[in-house]
Chains A and B, each alone.
Chain A
Amino acid sequence: MASSKPRKDAWAPWVFTVLIVIVWQAICSGFSVSEFIFPSPAAVVGSLIEFAGPIADHAWQTFWTTVAGFGIGVGVGLILGFIIGSSRFMYNALYPLMIGFNSIPKAAFVPILVVWFGIGTVPAILTAFLISFFPIVVNVATGLATLEPELEDVLRSLGAKRLDVLIKVGLPRSLPYFFASLKVAITLAFVGAVVSETVAANKGIGYLMMSAGSSMRMGLVFAGLIVISAMAMVMYVAFAILERRMTGWATRGMDSKI
């Protein structure tokens, strides 16, 4: 019964997307906007088909650098989140630093990374990592730090060690937070990788858009945008499904049958 409602609305985003494309096409045709400024959907699709081979090549580069950076982000995020969330002292010591770090625009790191590692894949991976690990840290730490004090009393009165409490209660409890943060982190990782590619790479969707833009092939630039957003959405959905699989109890089993 709970699952029938979302299914009824499942058409809504598709209809809306189609509507936007129609309006977009209408504006471009109606006002005869130059292809060099704002390409119509037809022109974008044309570029997508025409350059399918190179686009796929660059998309693969962006995809794997993103996933690599995201993977490091998950590892580091988990460890840092665990450290910060499991001790009040570390929480107080590291949290302000983390916030300060997170407010630096990650694009500002790219020139530094280029000096250190040269142009190419490594800065893209590292930028994806730098931008994506923060939400994971915050979520894991929050999950661990918001343990009910009563529950901790119950366990500690039985002689439970800190580690017992963390493993039996803290970790499972923070899993929903963790999986929720993965969805956010993967989309951010795409942003990081592409930003780095536009500045310092000779491969990847970011580089493709940059070079297509400089030769005024706007159809190809927009095709690049659409490819990035499609990849990010697919990954988002993948992690959303994983989240539901792993922590169905946290959503009160509403959609656990799907």
Chain B
Amino acid sequence: MLNTAASSPAPQTRVLVDFDKVDLAYDDTGGNAIEDVSLSIREGEFVAIVGPSGCGKSTFMKLVSGLKPPTRGNVLVDGREVSGPLKIVGMAFQAPTLLPWRTAMDNLMLPLEIVEPYRSTLKQKRGEYEARARSLLKTVGLEGNENKFPWELSGGMQQRASICRALIHEPKLLLLDEPFAALDAFTREELWCVLRDLWTQKRFTVVLVTHDLREAAFLADTVYVMSKRPGRILVRKEIDLPRPRDLDITYEERFTDIVLELREHIGRIRKT
């Protein structure tokens, strides 16, 4: 979690997530949701997965988080075969899924009430953990909203809180499933920067599922393009734009070139 190399993208070489020829079948129908997926994600890397809707992106998330075991192949996370829920994972979705009867602060504390070692130390160290939650909320610009209930927050603010909740237990791996899809364009770009800053500061590993190509190109180190069902990895594209990236970069030609290239891949998939 140390701020060792804020500017160069992910200098570590240790592999955190490793997929080796992974298939995942649907429940009964026999067809595969994803097929023959091999990829490895380095520690601290920011990965985006894009593809047409229904391409098994969310299925991919379930595999990484250990919520579903693969039908074939191996999923290694942190050097170990995934055989159940991983506690080093934080998740956020398109819907903020905050609990309406809890304040923003108490919503953030929820993971700490479940995951060890926080669960058993929560009583003694409550103050310390609350201070951590407060500073996290401050980082995403929610200072002073600790005691507000979800309905008192705007959609963008709720999503910020949701991302904070995913990060409160300092996971090594942050899984984001179209987290900004339901927001308006301005809020979305604002939250891109929030996520960028959080990632720059804490250097966790991110897997971002999205169908916004600009979002993928702006945030990620590596973009994977997935095909229609059964989902396969078609293209791996390294985004070599220098960091730190500013929103202005999205109007430069080298950025739009990348987006266009990704767009072309997606277009080709949709035609087949």
Contacts and interface: CB of A to CB of B under 8 A. Distances in A.
B149 interface: yes
Given A148-B97, A172-B101, A153 B67 contact: yes
A156 B149 contact: no
B217 to A, nearest CB: 26
A157 B95 contact: no
B66, B100, B175 — most chain A CB neighbours (10 Å): B100
Contact of B114 (A151, A160, A247): A160
Contacts of B113: 168
Contact of A252 (B62, B99, B111, B151): B151
Contact of B97 (A151, A156, A158, A253): A151
Interface string A186-197: 000000000000
A172 B97 contact: no
Nearest to A151: B97
A2 interface: no
A172 B62 CA distance: 26
A114 to B, nearest CB: 45
Classify chain A's interface size: 20 to 34
A151 B91 CA distance: 9
Nearest to A252: B151
Interface string A75-103: 00000000000000000000000000000
A9 B54 CA distance: 50
A155 interface: yes
Interface in A141-196: 148, 150-151, 153-160, 164, 168-169, 172-173
Contacts of A252: 151
Interface in A17-59: none
B95 A158 contact: no
A169 B99 contact: yes
Contact of A150 (B97, B99, B100, B101): B97
A156, A173, A253 — most chain B CB neighbours (10 Å): A156
B86 interface: yes
Contacts, number: 69
Contacts of A250: 100-101
Interface string B36-52: 00000000000000000
Contact of A253 (B62, B111, B114, B151): B151
A249 B91 contact: no
Interface in B119-166: 149, 151-152, 165-166
Contacts of A148: 95, 97
A169 B95 CA distance: 16
Contacts of B116: 159
A156 B91 CA distance: 10
A156 B175 CA distance: 14
Contacts of A156: 67, 85
B169 A253 contact: no
B65 to A, nearest CB: 4
Contacts of B89: 157-158
A158 B151 contact: no
Interface of A: 148, 150-151, 153-160, 164, 168-169, 172-173, 247, 249-250, 252-253
Interface of B: 62, 65-67, 84-87, 89, 91-93, 95, 97, 99-101, 110-111, 113-116, 149, 151-152, 165-166, 169, 175, 177
Given A159-B85, A249-B149, 11 more contacts: A150-B95, A153-B62, A154-B111, A158-B114, A159-B86, A164-B114, A168-B110, A173-B99, A247-B101, A249-B100, A250-B101
